[in-house]
């Protein structure tokens, strides 16, 4: 368990920089008078290279282990955070978005692999819940840290603060390595055939569909809430507080996940979470002050925070032997494809107002809940 908590701690540090940078990039772009479409492009760049590289990254982790790739990913993200500090401009924000997203993708592949390998089928939901708690802590702390840093130090200086957090995992892994699982013996096959094997697996395919649906909702939250906060007149620190409330809700629900996972199976939980999150998205456009918005984002955090530990556990259980990193890479590919396309789409839609963005996302989640209903009531066992 010591290795698990060490990895989760390093994940928290990196995730503070990642989530804080997303908000800082958005608000700095708005400060530089960028339109919503440009903000959408910036958020899309967080995911473009990860979408192209995540599957190959997973295969590399399967072959060489996680320590080296995790250090490299942390350093790449740190470089991305430093670029706008040195060169404060819209062009620099484009470079930063691509570098930070790529670096954290590589760290994420490593972290998911380590936690899965340190677990058994029985302990995996609990261990992934601990990891999810770490992500929630980072998601709560990052936007709040960024918001207050922007208000007190300015956008440019906030990036160097975030870079200090981003480099800590690389330093920690280099100075004090943790005992990690041995390398996997990857079965060499033609890459296209190997990838199609994953998609032909029925259990994996169902999990990937759920991943894609929830990813759209997370993307809209990250992209739309800062813009919506600016439009209703909130300061950067208040926007950070509002987004921190979302993260606090994900932390609360994930703290309860070990208890919940013993009483509710994965697909019923996914169905309920979809409907809760959809309700929040439908109501957000009616919130025009801090307190109602915080309440709705807390509800949204409950809906979007609950499924991740169960989905990750199902994914690791369903992955073919020696291909856990690759299966995680496919998950990250789907997430990042969504993060590439959806901000562009919603950035264009956002020129008409934020209500269509929130409501279309609510419809997607409602449809996801309807699709999950079939699995919830027809599949007696989600994992083997």
CATH number of residue 102's parent domain: 1.20.1250.20
pLDDT at 2: 67
pLDDT at 231: 87
**pTM of the predicted model as reported, rounded to 2 decimal places:** 0.72
Q: How far is the C-alpha of 130 from the C-alpha of 95, rounded, in Å?
A: 32
Domain-located, residue 310: yes
Structurally, the chain folds into a number of domains equal to 1
In tens, the pLDDT along 203-238 reads 777 777 777 788 888 878 877 888 888 888 888 888
pLDDT at 352: 66
Domain-located, residue 288: yes
Domain-located, residue 130: yes
Assign 113 a pLDDT band (cuts: 50, 70, 90).
confident
In tens, the pLDDT along 122-157 reads 777 788 888 888 887 887 789 889 989 999 999 999
Domain-located, residue 165: yes
Name every residue whose Cβ is closer than 8 Å to that of residue 381 and which is 6 or more positions away in sequence.
none
Q: How far is CA 132 from the centre of its chain?
A: 10
Q: How far is the C-alpha of 193 from the C-alpha of 199, rounded, in Å?
A: 10
**Gap between the terminal Cα atoms of the chain:** 23
pLDDT at 382: 44
Domain-located, residue 185: no
b/e string for 150-159 if b means 16 or more Cβ within 10 A?
Answer: beeeebbebb
By the 8 A CB rule, do 129 and 113 touch?
A: no
Name every residue whose Cβ is closer than 8 Å to that of residue 54 and which is 6 or more positions away in sequence.
105, 109, 329, 330, 332, 333, 336
Going from the C-alpha of 212 to that of each of 26, 97, 142, the distances in angstroms are 23, 21, 24
Which strand (E) or helix (H) includes residue 297? helix 290-305
Q: What range defines the domain where residue 342 resides? A: 2-178+193-378
Domain-located, residue 183: no
Q: How far is the C-alpha of 219 from the C-alpha of 203, rounded, in Å?
A: 25
Domain-located, residue 131: yes
In tens, the pLDDT along 294-344 reads 999 999 999 998 887 777 777 777 777 767 677 777 877 877 777 667 766
Name every residue whose Cβ is closer than 8 Å to that of residue 193 and which is 6 or more positions away in sequence.
none
Q: What is the mean pLDDT of residues 183-195?
A: 52
Sort 303 into a burial class: Cβ within 10 Å, 0-12 / 13-18 / 19+: buried
For residue 285, is pLDDT > 50?
Answer: yes
Indicate the SS3 state at residue 263. Answer: coil
pLDDT at 190: 42
Domain-located, residue 383: no
């Amino acid at each position: 368990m010591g290795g698990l908590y060490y990895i989760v701690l390093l994940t928290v540090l990196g995730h503070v920089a990642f989530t804080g940078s997303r908000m800082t990039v958005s608000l700095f772009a708005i400060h530089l008078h960028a339109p919503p479409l440009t903000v959408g492009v910036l958020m899309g760049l967080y995911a473009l290279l990860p979408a192209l590289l995540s599957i190959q990254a997973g295969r590399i982790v399967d072959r060489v282990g996680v320590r080296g790739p995790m250090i490299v990913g942390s350093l790449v993200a740190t470089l991305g955070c430093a670029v706008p500090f040195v060169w404060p401009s819209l062009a620099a924000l484009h470079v930063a978005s691509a570098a930070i997203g790529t670096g954290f993708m590589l760290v994420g592949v490593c972290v998911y692999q380590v936690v899965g390998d340190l677990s058994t089928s029985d302990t995996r939901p609990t261990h992934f819940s601990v990891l999810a708690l770490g992500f929630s802590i980072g998601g709560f702390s990052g936007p709040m840290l960024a918001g207050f840093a922007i208000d007190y130090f300015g956008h440019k200086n906030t990036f160097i603060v975030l870079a200090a957090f981003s480099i800590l995992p690389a330093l920690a892994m280099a100075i004090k390595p943790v005992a990690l699982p041995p390398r996997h013996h990857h079965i060499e096959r033609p890459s296209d055939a190997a990838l199609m094997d994953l998609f032909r697996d029925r259990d994996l395919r169902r999990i990937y569909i759920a991943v894609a649906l929830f990813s759209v909702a997370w993307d809209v939250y990250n992209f739309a809430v800062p813009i919506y906060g600016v439009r209703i007149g909130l300061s950067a620190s208040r926007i950070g507080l509002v987004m921190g409330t979302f993260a606090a809700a994900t932390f609360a629900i994930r703290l309860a996940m070990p208890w919940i996972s013993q009483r509710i199976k994965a697909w019923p939980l996914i169905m309920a979470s979809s409907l809760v999150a959809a309700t929040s998205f439908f109501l957000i456009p009616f919130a025009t002050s801090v307190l109602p918005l915080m309440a709705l984002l807390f509800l949204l955090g409950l809906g979007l925070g609950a499924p991740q530990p169960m989905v990750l556990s199902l994914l690791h259980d369903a992955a073919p032997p020696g291909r856990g990193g690759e299966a995680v890479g496919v998950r990250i590919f789907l997430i990042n494809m969504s993060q590439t396309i959806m901000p562009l789409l919603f950035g264009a839609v956002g020129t008409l107002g934020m209500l269509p963005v929130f409501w279309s996302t609510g419809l997607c989640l409602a449809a996801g809940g309807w699709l999950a209903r079939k699995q919830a009531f027809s599949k007696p066992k989600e994992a083997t």
